[in-house]
Copies of this chain bind each other. A is one copy, B any other.
């Protein structure tokens, strides 16, 4: 961890170094903020006129020169009043705004999300000087630029001051920074790999999905190929959930204002929700979560202890009013189809249910061949009682049983204090993607608050009303959108047979072989295999090349030999099969081949 902290200091110092180079080249530049991000940093700057990528290269060269020279980082402290005057004199308007915020609100944070806080208190602030560049900053920094290692400026983007589109538009310079050239090279390799595997690129090539301006931003249009994959994933989830004793429901995508006042989404979460719709009987919202609908199903009749645990599942669609500018492929959308379920159980059932969800989750990941993940248990903090629902016994009990589950299952996990949700502890599943990005794929969230808000209860063995209904929210396969993006990247578009939109391609040699190929295709389709016949007016070599480019698992050329005799009695014949990823063709009878493919589909072979 210390090493990571050191690297963050280096990256932060690198941001100052780059700003200093900007100051040198553009003395009129006005500086916003320059925080550390994953793998590097950025700096938001208002230039006298917008700079280009080319200009950015010049800035990089200048900063590298200063690095070689070993420019120093010098800390000074001054009173807030002095600092205000100092930055006002330098016409650094954004720094002045930050200082005014500090003076009025005691903080420069304008939202919970903002990580960086500039140095200082209402009494005194610290500033750092690097070359001619002076920045308001909490530090710490390196002593000399020589300590910075290697860096590279990677991207130029637009950014509003404080993320608000009503404010000035600045330019954001992104950079990456590592201790060694080898680390930077590895990072750049992964970046290149990520570009090759980009889900938007492959999604377009393979015709999986697209977005359309007239349909609207962040609303996925699933094409037939993407729908096949999506439906296969959904089928798998349903199958496993059925086996694990879930019941399924279908709920509308809307609910009335009253529902979200009960759930607490309104007013706190209003900005993230789609705008309200005034109907003749009240105000409606598109749902941001499935929980309120499922709680309503729980409540639709009196429940007894015999009904618990009750596991209500639905691939439910949720709507989020993201800013249109922040939407990015399938990774940030406005409508998400969530692999959702809610488990209603008694306190003494939490452990078994949590374990069962863990097993389900891990079983699903194994099917997709995903192994590089670990768990993170997010707990409350008795030191910050105000942040958490006041049920100390439940916090202690549930965190303990969850830890027991993690231990008994012998999985890799970390614990994080003071990271729980307001309403209960949770376990996140953390993935290291194939391109080195860490992401939370799914969450198993315990909830003590729903029982009060929705008055969830049951009749216990003694006939008494019991309100101690615990809810587990879980979505092992995340959302279709996110999971699909992840899988595309993971597989680089080379889908396992069971997920491949086309599993077998027949390439007829000439026009006269088309009818026969279609008959063979029909035979396989009737058995449950997805087949395509390429009847284009092209050479068979071209057809094979194109099908290989589409990563189709099996390609079979259909010519005189394959069709000799009665096609329907072609059972004895051997086919030559081009197997994806293998150099040599495989010789196999039709029967054997069909059996092999059906077997791979059934076992969901990777």
Given A216-B255, A222-B251, A256-B216; A275-B274 close (CB under 8 Å): no
Q: A279–B274 contact, CB under 8 A? A: yes
Q: Is A228 interfacial (CB-CB < 8 Å)?
A: yes
Q: Are A231 and B252 in contact (CB under 8 A)?
A: no
Tell whether, in the assembled complex, residue A212 and residue B300 are in contact, meaning their CB atoms are under 8 Å apart.
Answer: yes
B248 touches A317 (CB 8 A): no
* A519 CB–B CB distance under 8 Å: no
Q: Give Cα distance in the complex from A293 to B297, angstroms.
A: 31
Is the Cβ of A216 less than 8 Å from the Cβ of B252? yes
* Residues of B with C-beta under 8 A to A251: 215, 221-222
Chain B contacts for A252, CB-based, 8 A: 215-216, 219-221, 335
What's the interface size class on A, roughly? 35 or more
Interface residues of A in 41-86 (CB under 8 A from B): none
B-facing residues in A210-236 (Cβ within 8 Å): 210, 212-217, 219-224, 226-228, 230-231
Q: A216-B279, A216-B281 are in contact. List 5 more A-B contacts (CB 8 A).
A: A214-B256, A216-B256, A222-B251, A227-B249, A252-B335
Give the docked Cα–Cα distance between A335 and B293 (Å).
15
A430 CB → nearest B CB, Å: 29
The verdict on A262 contacting chain B, using a C-beta distance below 8 Å, is yes
Select A335's contact among B226, B254, B296, B297, beta carbons within 8 Å: B254
Closest to A278 in B: B275
Decide if A360 is an interface residue (CB 8 Å cutoff).
no
Contacts of A324 in B (CB 8 A): 279-281
Give every chain B residue within 8 A of A223 (Cβ-Cβ).
249, 297, 300
* Chain A 237-266 interface 0/1 with B at a Cβ cutoff of 8 Å (1 = within): 000000000011111111110110010000
For the complex, give the distance between the alpha carbons of A252 and B247 in Å: 25
Give 23 pairs: A residue, B residue, CB < 8 Å, sorted on A. A214-B296, A215-B256, A215-B293, A215-B296, A216-B254, A216-B256, A216-B279, A219-B252, A219-B255, A223-B249, A224-B247, A224-B248, A226-B250, A227-B247, A227-B249, A252-B335, A253-B253, A254-B335, A275-B279, A277-B277, A279-B321, A279-B324, A280-B323
> Are B250 and A222 in contact (CB-based, < 8 A)?
yes
Interface centre among A216, A301, A306 (most CB of B within 10 A): A216
**A280 to B221 CA separation, bound complex (whole angstroms):** 20
Q: Is the CB of A293 within 8 A of B249?
A: no
Known: A220-B252, A222-B251, A317-B253. A258 touches B214 (CB 8 A): yes
A508 nearest CB across to chain B (Å): 14
For residue A302, CB closer than 8 A to chain B, the reply is no
Check if A305 is an interface residue, CB within 8 A of chain B: no
Q: A335: which B residues are within 8 A, CB to CB?
A: 252-254
Give complex CA distance A250, B222 in Å: 5
Chain B residues with Cβ below 8 Å from A365 are none
Q: A373 an interface residue at 8 Å Cβ cutoff?
A: no
A267 on interface, CB distance cutoff 8 Å: no
Q: How far is the CA of A222 from the CA of B256 in the complex (A)?
A: 17
User: Quick check: is A284 within 8 A (CB to CB) of the other chain?
Assistant: yes
Within the complex, the shortest CB–CB distance from A34 to chain B, in Å, comes to 27
Q: Does A282 contact B (CB under 8 A)?
A: yes
Binary CB contact string for chain A from 433 to 466 against chain B (1 if under 8 A, 0 otherwise): 0000000000000000000000000000000000
Q: Please list the 6 inter-chain residue pairs (A to B) with the smallest Cβ-Cβ separation, ordered nearest first.
A: A219-B252, A224-B247, A281-B324, A222-B250, A275-B277, A214-B259
In the docked arrangement, what's the CA distance between A275 and B275, Å? 10
- Taking each of A212, A274, A293, which has the highest tally of chain B beta carbons within 10 Å of its own beta carbon? A212
- In the complex, the chain B residue whose C-beta lies closest to that of A275 is B277
The 0/1 profile, CB within 8 Å of B marked 1, for residues 266-297 of chain A is 00000000110111111010000000010011
With a CB–CB cut-off of 8 A, which chain B residues contact A253? 253, 317, 335
The residue on B at minimum CB distance from A258 is B214
With CB as the reference atom, state the residue of chain B lying closest to A325: B280
* A227 CB, min distance to chain B CBs, angstroms: 5
Q: Distance in Å from the Cβ of A493 to the closest Cβ of chain B? A: 18
A165 to chain B, nearest CB (A): 8
A213 to B281, CA, bound (A): 10
Inter-chain contact A214/B262, CB cutoff 8 Å: yes
Inter-subunit contact B215/A255 (CB<8 Å): yes
Give every chain B residue within 8 A of A207 (Cβ-Cβ): 301
- Establish whether residues B250 and A300, one from each chain, have CB atoms under 8 Å apart when the complex forms: no
Most chain-B Cβ atoms within 10 A of its Cβ — which of A230, A247, A254, A323?
A254
A324 to B280, CA, bound (A): 7
A558 to B247, CA, bound (A): 25
User: Residues of B contacting A281 with CB < 8 Å?
Assistant: 216-217, 324
Using CB atoms, name the residue of chain B closest to A317: B253
The smallest C-beta distance from A579 to any residue of chain B, in angstroms, reads 26
